């Protein structure tokens, strides 16, 4: 039996990077594949509010400290960024 919601429950490795060197506002979100050897741009011009919604509270505090690699569910990517991986 096929489960259409499996992709929504699965977690995906992503990287959030600033679009420019200023490190504020617009961010790009990349989907990391093959243990980080390949990345694919999935969303650009992501606001700080969207990043806050995408990550849980603990991960968001790590993001504010400078970390950029996280794991998020397909459901949260779909809800916040309107992206299906």
Segment 16-72, tens digit of pLDDT: 998 776 656 689 999 998 887 899 999 999 999 999 999 999 999 999 999 999 999
Residue 4 in this model has a pLDDT that exceeds 90 = no
Q: Which residues of 15-52 are buried (b: 16+ CB within 10 A; e: fewer)?
A: bbeeeeeeeeeebbbbbbeeeeeebeebbeebeeebbe
pTM of full prediction above 0.75: yes
């Amino acid at each position: 039996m096929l489960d259409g919601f499996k992709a929504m429950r699965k977690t995906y490795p992503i990287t959030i990077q600033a679009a420019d060197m200023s490190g504020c506002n617009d961010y790009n979100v990349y989907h990391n594949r093959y243990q980080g050897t390949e990345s694919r741009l999935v969303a650009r011009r992501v606001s700080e509010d969207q990043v806050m919604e995408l990550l849980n509270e603990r991960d968001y505090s790590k993001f504010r400290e400078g970390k950029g690699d996280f794991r998020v569910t397909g459901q949260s990517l779909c809800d916040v960024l309107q992206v299906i991986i």
